[in-house]
Structure 1
């Protein structure tokens, strides 16, 4: 996603000491996994967090299924129906599965390889000018590409099936996402350079990407809810207008018939 560029400069621009010894055993194991199998670890992390962001965004935006069907399914459904209903109730539905696929098979490999290419291009270039240039290049390449892929993937996950629909989503949201990314990424890098040891950069930026991903997803879902409500109101107004016109016509017909009867 858009904040993936933050890690672009991590190996080249170290701030705090890289001999950081954390007291958290899970964090130590995660850092060790990153060093041993970087791509696979990033794929699993990105997939899980992308699915979790989808679930949280659904709850925050109010788009997750309500608990109305869970009791009926529990009392009369099969064990598989009960499991499926429970998963849907907490938000683990087809969209969450698609977001896991996006995070593990699209986002993580894309960012891993693009960041690696940029790191190789700037290998050994550690002057302040080179560091600034690397940040600028990363913002104009990795950030733009990852943001566009994220929005396009979100459009497909949310039901877009044509290139026109995907392009509409990109036109509506890409510039806003880039604006936020171009502010948050340099600030995150500056904070990491000043306060974080090198091995904590990837976990920290992963957390930041998760927070921003949840935010963007929530905003998108709330817009969808608002559009759905507007569409529903329009349909109701059309129905009421049609019903009113029909009622007026019926009253007019009755008046004509009454007058005709009086003449007779």
Structure 2
């Protein structure tokens, strides 16, 4: 008995099982061939006789998923539908009835199988459980399927119509009914492999194709291939009213359809987002700059996403986006972006590119940005740099600045940047038992020229020592940086040279800034406020220039970032992760990593 005869025997004895096995094998071949043609290969390292060898292959979990679809979904449905069709038209062999049977197949079986195929691929590519309630997950599931059908059903159905017309004509004239399912499985195997290959090529649309012919080929394939909806679930920490973070912060999940973005939009994956005092103040409702509360993310009441600083990776770009590629890193161009979320969708212009580690390596830099450096780039280092460079001309090698809060994040950045610019510095810190260790750290690690205590800052007897330091360099103390207020601010202001400037950028003591009248009258000392948000808003190019400078110092290894306590988000509630980070922020900078 030939192999074909054996197959027919099994087909007659176990029709559904044999058809399922046949379709399952063809589905596996479909996935493997499409992967090989499109270059979607995997690399596995194996140990062969003590030697590690990398093997290229096309094996992946998706093969099993397609086998399951072919054997357990598509075949049973087609078996049943064609069975009903054959039973209804049994014995009706006239040309007219064959035509009716063909039309009936095109109007029933073909659209049904097309819908099943599109639904399955939409499910594979677009649905991922987000940990919501059963009702929420069910709604997401049907949303993914619905969008997939809306986008791709008629594309698949149109292809299937032509295929079915030819295949049905052949089947009616040359094949017995019991072979129809197998025959159609083979036909759809060829068509499905072509469609799957095109789909995989679409997934690689962002890859560089060097030749004109290659670009033309890829463009043609992408134009023909269907786009299956891929839904991303974004977890966002929102607040609808103001109050303490533990009372008003909550997690909201919403969907981002990666295949339905506007030409100028980009999809972002969050890498890290810090907790800043200004972020907490925004939630409390006491910060001057507030994000707009809307229902655009599907919330039941107007809400805003927390967070102003963060680092993102580009995972999808619109067709008109020129400034980004998939894999690039980016930070928000302005405040109130809402960085406390796992994913985001925005216009290209709302983000600013920063180099990822691979790009820094290719540029010959000593090191790449860390997630902590990138996520905390927009506030503290920019504040320090702009205060030192934007208001007073300080002569390198001669002039000085003095600052209180010398052990703060901004204070440490100011000391480092001052040293890089050749500016001498005096850092004022609170007295403590380990004061000598702190002084050593601030001098040797952060680059402060001198470190004094608040007691020395407020003592008239210590004034001559400060004058001696300044005299030795032949310069002046032209700038004071104040983040404390109260007596401390008066102490640093007294050390300013005539016409000196004190910039206030914080008030950690919660006491007003008080300056002796004599400083205004006899030394013409002035006092001004510094708010990095307002300054950058007035000059959009200033942030780009400043970020580039800070990044250059980071990647050259000349600037150290302020360490953060990392809070890793996993399966837990995202709002609770940020609530815990806020609670721990008094003990140091907190960073949530995604």
TM-score in terms of structure 2 length: 0.34
SS at match of 1:238: strand
SS at match of 2:19: helix
The structure where strand makes up a greater share of residues is 2
Q: Alignment partner for residue 29 of structure 2, among 31, 40, 52? A: 52
Partner of 2:15: 38
Q: Alignment partner for residue 233 of structure 1, among 325, 342, 351? A: 325
Q: Displacement, 1:205?
A: 3.0
Q: Is 1:206 aligned to 2:185, yes or no?
A: yes
After superposition, the C-alpha distances for 1:92-136 in whole angstroms (9 at most, x for unaligned) are 322111211111111111100111111122223223222111111
After superposition, the C-alpha distances for 1:30-73 in whole angstroms (9 at most, x for unaligned) are 223222221111010111111221122222223332x2x42469
The aligned length equals 230
Q: Displacement, 1:190?
A: 2.8
Partner of 2:93: 126
Contact 1:122 1:134 in 2 (8 A): yes
Partner of 2:242: none
Tell me how far apart the structure 1 counterparts of residues 81 and 165 of structure 2 sit (CA, whole Å): 18
Tell me how far apart the structure 2 counterparts of residues 156 and 111 of structure 1 sit (CA, whole Å): 20
Supply the RMSD in Å over aligned alpha carbons. Answer: 3.5
Alpha-carbon distance change, 120 to 58 in structure 1, aligned in 2, over 3 angstroms: same
User: What aligned pairs does 1:244-259 form with structure 2 within 5 A after superposition?
Assistant: 252-256=386-390, 259=393
In structure 1, the gaps of 5 or more residues are: 1-23
User: What aligned pairs does 1:158-197 form with structure 2 within 5 A after superposition?
Assistant: 158-161=125-128, 162-193=141-172, 196-197=174-175
Alpha-carbon distance change, 140 to 72 in structure 1, aligned in 2, over 3 angstroms: same
SS at match of 1:124: coil
Tell me how far apart the structure 2 counterparts of residues 243 and 251 of structure 1 sit (CA, whole Å): 18
Alpha-carbon distance change, 223 to 91 in structure 1, aligned in 2, over 3 angstroms: same
SS at match of 1:63: coil
Q: Displacement, 1:229?
A: 5.9
In structure 2, the gaps of 5 or more residues are: 129-140, 206-258, 260-314, 319-323, 332-350, 356-376, 400-477, 479-498, 501-594
Deviates more, 1:45-54 or 1:251-260: 251-260
Contact 1:61 1:218 in 2 (8 A): yes
Q: Displacement, 1:256?
A: 2.1
Alpha-carbon distance change, 197 to 110 in structure 1, aligned in 2, over 3 angstroms: closer
Contact 1:95 1:158 in 2 (8 A): no
Tell me how far apart the structure 1 counterparts of residues 96 and 154 of structure 2 sit (CA, whole Å): 27
Partner of 1:4: none
Q: Alignment partner for residue 105 of structure 1, among 72, 83, 100? A: 72
Tell me how far apart the structure 2 counterparts of residues 101 and 126 of structure 1 sit (CA, whole Å): 35
After superposition, the C-alpha distances for 1:9-45 in whole angstroms (9 at most, x for unaligned) are xxxxxxxxxxxxxxx9323322232222211110101
Deviates more, 1:121-130 or 1:241-250: 241-250
Tell me how far apart the structure 2 counterparts of residues 242 and 206 of structure 1 sit (CA, whole Å): 49
Tell me how far apart the structure 1 counterparts of residues 21 and 172 of structure 2 sit (CA, whole Å): 26
After superposition, the C-alpha distances for 1:189-239 in whole angstroms (9 at most, x for unaligned) are 334555x45376555433211111112222222223337663872662735
Instruction: Answer with 1 or 2: which has the greater Rg.
Output: 2
Partner of 1:10: none
Tell me how far apart the structure 2 counterparts of residues 93 and 118 of structure 1 sit (CA, whole Å): 36
User: What aligned pairs does 1:65-144 form with structure 2 within 5 A after superposition?
Assistant: 65=42, 67=43, 69-71=44-46, 90-144=57-111
Tell me how far apart the structure 1 counterparts of residues 47 and 122 of structure 2 sit (CA, whole Å): 33
Partner of 1:29: 6
Partner of 2:540: none
Alpha-carbon distance change, 156 to 188 in structure 1, aligned in 2, over 3 angstroms: same
Alpha-carbon distance change, 242 to 154 in structure 1, aligned in 2, over 3 angstroms: closer
Contact 1:99 1:157 in 2 (8 A): no
Tell me how far apart the structure 2 counterparts of residues 94 and 62 of structure 1 sit (CA, whole Å): 17
Tell me how far apart the structure 1 counterparts of residues 8 and 196 of structure 2 sit (CA, whole Å): 28
Alpha-carbon distance change, 249 to 236 in structure 1, aligned in 2, over 3 angstroms: farther
Alpha-carbon distance change, 229 to 56 in structure 1, aligned in 2, over 3 angstroms: farther
SS at match of 2:325: helix
Tell me how far apart the structure 2 counterparts of residues 71 and 254 of structure 1 sit (CA, whole Å): 56
SS at match of 2:204: helix
Tell me how far apart the structure 2 counterparts of residues 218 and 193 of structure 1 sit (CA, whole Å): 30
Alpha-carbon distance change, 143 to 200 in structure 1, aligned in 2, over 3 angstroms: closer
